[in-house]
Structure 1
């Protein structure tokens, strides 16, 4: 529910706080550009494009005061200010803690841990009473031993799901014990690709939302562009649980089927009442085939260039992507039958 009415989210995902400033020098420049360009104007523009929400990831290392290498108090305060700016613009905000190797850590923690909870101890006093802020507990958990990039169609074992549930439940207890009344969001396993088979999480407030990130890439990309794949990954689960696609885009992948599969994917979400946070608002490096391009003066991407050509894998022309279709959905409630 949002403002007392049933809610199917439609929003954008942005990246200014995905890595802390200590990691800027070792990473591509778009992260620094997104951070330095972040401002309240972005949320007004999102709202003008039909969004009702925005998803912001916060780097775990940068926001953890116990991390002497990466913690940055000024950066964290800017992230907190951004959440307030988005709320002031009338957007619901999904705040997500992220721990990935671009921050300089040797490897991503497979599940939320004590460092994740330390960050929530910083954010909960600020936002724990604002129901317009959702707490996405941990981005893309991946409890697959010794495999940082597993096959995204891999089915977790019952033991892996139990470890996932234990870690998520502990984090839910933590934020509730610190006074949070927010909806909490739990990403599925295999980098949020899989929700099927997940046990129900335990929340005394019964405010758990489950999240999937159904990117196409992988060794079964053809299959991953089909309704069967969406059903197997999160669709069956969504028949009995509230589900959101809290992060999605074409990613580093496209083929001749991709434009039509995106149209089918969006219609599938609409038919199932599943919300979407589409990426990425302020991040369009070459080859990523993104939502928008030209940040900070965003233009919505298109599946076709001036010659009517579409992209091939990692060879997309600037601006290639589903942006115009998303814009049509968000502004007009329609999904074009053919790619745009």
Structure 2
């Protein structure tokens, strides 16, 4: 009898795993191999050109999003983190953490136009079409730098009091940025370059990825404490938290299907359904590849793109074990709905 019960339990467990895995209807359909070795960080999809900008080693690899063909590289970007594209100017801006600069490049030729010096640790970067500014989030410098993309120069800074991770804007005069060590969200004015207020992210430690539902005024915050926090963007109240995978780094929101995606280093993308403005439920995980924690979302085709590589042990630094990408294994995963 005990053996029968154990077998039934195992079958039910397997069914539950399958349901959780396939519930979202998404899976990895293709892998784009990318030459070169070295670490990797943000991956960015540009809908105006159907291109992927992939941070990799000391350069940005530029890929055709449909075929995976490498179209070229933006070189000499030491400690590269992220890329922001300004479509109407055909210019891109790359954060170089290794030498505290922002590389400006021509999006057509991929040639470097200028290098802008900024404060230390430039990381996440994005373009705000409302203010027509590029914003650079700094970790160690604990600030946001605003750049005029047409003049290619710094026009101001926002002092945050804590290291900045991902940021979003709502198109209505509000910006929001995760403060990683403080576990707070700073609400800032992207035009006046001032902090309006700060809110603690209740139930969250080490916030990283961030997405926004501008219509319903909800922020979706990926936390390294293995939860996604849902925050009211009008008052900072955390409405709920939902379990996600380990070492989340990016969050995306699909307003059409009411789905939130959180990409995790453990080889999963956690998928959460927005049942209503204040009701959220997990609908399972998409199985990807261990290390695939950075993600880009194509809102038109509903594709997800993730950077990943096989990992191997590296010599310890400061007595701490480290992992590094295995040479020749770097690729971009394409996740699509079936």
TM-score normalized with structure 2 length? 0.34
| Higher RCO (C-alpha under 8 Å, 6+ residues apart) | 1
- Report the structure, 1 or 2, having the larger strand content: 2
TM-score normalized with structure 1 length? 0.34
